[in-house]
Amino acid sequence: MIRLLGEYLILLLDIFKRPDKGPVFRRQLLVEFVGLGVDSIGIVAIISVFTGAIVAIQTAYNIDSPLIPLTMVGFTTRQMMILEFSPTIISLILAGKVGSRIASEIGTMRVTEQIDALRVMGVNPANYLILPKITASMLFNPVLIIFSIVVGLWGGYFACLVTGLVAGSDFIAGLRGWFEPFTVTYAMIKTVVFAFIIASVSGYLGYNVDGGSVEVGKASTRAVVVSSILIIFFDLILTQLLLV
């Protein structure tokens, strides 16, 4: 465990060096924005709209006291989406989608000697391959999470309209009430930390693949499992540090 942590930290030192060529790094960054970010918009939208709808319906279903105003449905949906569902659940989904992609892409490059080819050319492979992925994830994931929150709230609103459990005006009144801007800051901090975990851990596991296609598959699975566990663990730590 200590050895793995040491290897991971040494790899990070290699990753966070000045790129060999600025224009090449910027081009790679754009490629990763598309591959890791833009290509994830669809799945984020689908999951978010349904999550928002489900949270709204479940909250409305559980309010059976006439003393609790129905505006609580909008309020609860907003708080749940901002505090937990969008930053954490979507990051877990991205750990599966993006993490496995990073680990298998870099792992395949390792077993087909493409990383060796980079190294013998005099290129720093860790920096060239992993730094754009970490940077793109840390810059684009907050955009995805904001998008997820907005789409989730729309999902909740439409669910209320379709089911008739809560009037649209009540839902919107709840959304607008008792808003603390720090909750968004908290969500963004979590998102950036989770993005770093997903890209760096998956990059490390792919970079250190030794063997053939079976090992690439194992690294891809391990990337998802390890990233997910770390996301939940850091979710607890960050919540304790930032909210309590």
Partner 1 sequence: MINVENICKSFADRMVLKNVGTVFEKGKTNLIIGQSGSGKTVLMKCCIGLVEPDSGLISFDERPFSSVKEKHKKDIRKEMGVLFQGGALFDSMNVEQNVMFPLNMFTDMTPAEKLDRVNFVLKRVNLVNVNHLFPSEISGGMMKRVAIARAISNNPSYLFCDEPNSGLDPKTAEVIDQLISEITEEYNITTVINTHDMNSVLQIGQKINFLYKGELWWKGDKNSILHTDNAELNDFVFSTELTRRLRK
Residue 123 contacts partner 1 per CB under 8 A: yes
Residue 218 contacts partner 1 per CB under 8 A: no
Place of tokens 């940077």: 135
* CA dist list (Å): 158 to 58, 60, 196: 14, 13, 34
- Report d(CA 102, CA 95) in Å as an integer: 10
Member of 34, 68, 117, 243 binding partner 1 (CB under 8 A) = 117
Chain-centroid distance of CA 125 in Å reads: 24
Which is nearer to partner 1, 67 or 120 (by Cβ)? Answer: 120
User: Inter-axis angle of helices 125-163 and 22-32, to 10 degrees?
Assistant: 30
- Report d(CA 81, CA 179) in Å as an integer: 13
Structure tokens at 159: 């669910």
Dihedral sign computed on CA atoms, order 130, 136, 139, 141: negative
For partner 1, which stretch binds (CB under 8 A), given 54-62, 119-127, 130-138, 174-182?
119-127
Member of 30, 46, 121, 243 binding partner 1 (CB under 8 A) = 121
From residue 80 to residue 109, the character string flagging contacts with partner 1 as x (rule: CB under 8 A) and all else as - is ----------------------------xx
Residue 122 contacts partner 1 per CB under 8 A: yes
Which is nearer to partner 1, 123 or 173 (by Cβ)? Answer: 123
Member of 120, 178, 210, 240 binding partner 1 (CB under 8 A) = 120
Residues of this chain that bind partner 1 (CB under 8 A): 20-21, 23-24, 108-109, 112-114, 116-117, 119-123
